[in-house]
Amino acid sequence: MVFCLGLGLLLMLFSCSPSSRDGVDENQFAGYWYQGKAEINVFDLQQSRYGEVRPGKAVMIFVTEDFSKRKQVKLDDPKGNASDAQKVMKLNMTRDFVTGIYPYHTMLSVFTPVYEESFSPKITASVTEWCGQSFTQLNFKNGTYQIKQFSYFESEGDSEAKVNAMPEDELFNLIRLNPELVPTGSQLLLPSLIFQRFAHTPLKAENASIARRDLASNQSEVVVEYSNIGRRLSIRFEKFFPHEILGFEESWTREDGKKETTTATRTHMKLTDYWNQNGTMSEPLRKELGL
């Protein structure tokens, strides 16, 4: 009873909050995303790397949090810094697979405004394996992305750049907010940061087309196709709120004509406050998630 009253009060508060992003139903959104829990999605991964497909696991963690507009980091005290607070949808996505004797681990973090009509203020990506590690960070400031790249590869060096384009990586978050927020038709996109590291291509804006279409069984998909770099991405999701991500497929036709295809199919989902489950007694919960 206390929980129901608390949730009702929360919904009332958010229903009175101003929202400038069309398509976000605040009552519906708050009822699901402001429970104090994260949504953990586990996928069977078939990752193409070095011309072979490697089995692995991908995990997508979606959660909302208060973000600093000024520092572009999570706010420790949002109530004490209300003027600097921005509600964001955060995606943390990992991929784990093995190439021969050594493992790969990637992580992508995307922070997308829930209410403001703006690009994601921050996106980061890292790739670690036995050869070394690389890291990329995008910060949206003054109408453009400021990019910093760090890598153990000489050709990718430590570099800085600026790009004015929508990042492909925020499409996952836009789908979770409302798939109709995904722009369609010809677009200038910044390709996936993980793809860029795997393909060792320059990080720059590319011409692409985006399509959104319905599938059978109350499912829909977003398809992205690039005209110059041979990349294609499809994201499959539930048509109705909360638009859960069910799987994705990415393919890349290399300059030598060889095609590499990676697929991820969801197997488990759980809503939980995982940050409070960090003791050894909670480790069996990983089995419930197929990990």
List 145's β-bridge partners, or say none.
Answer: 140, 163
Name the region of 156 (left: φ>0; alpha: ψ -120 to 50; beta: rest).
alpha
CA atoms of 286 and 291, how far apart (whole Å): 5
pLDDT band at 15 (very low <50, low <70, confident <90, very high): very low
Task: Give percent of the chain with pLDDT exceeding 90.
Answer: 85
Beta bridge partners of residue 42, listed in sequence order: 59, 268
pTM of the model: 0.91
Per-residue pLDDT band for 20 (boundaries 50, 70, 90) equals low
What single-letter amino acid sits at 288?
Answer: E
Across residues 54-78, what is the average pLDDT? 95
Per-residue pLDDT reduced to its tens digit, 139-156: 999 999 999 999 998 888
Strands 122-129, 245-253: pairing kind:
unpaired
Residues 215/206, Cβ–Cβ less than 8 Å: no
| 116 secondary structure, DSSP code | S
> Six-digit token pair at 161?
């750049």
Q: What pLDDT score does 6 carry?
A: 43
pLDDT surpasses 60 at 13 = no
Indicate the SS3 state at residue 282: helix
The closest of 251, 112, 108 to 181, measured between CA atoms, is 112
pLDDT band at 3 (very low <50, low <70, confident <90, very high): very low
181-217 pLDDT tens trace: 999 999 999 999 999 999 998 899 999 999 999 998 8
What is residue 271's three-state secondary structure? strand
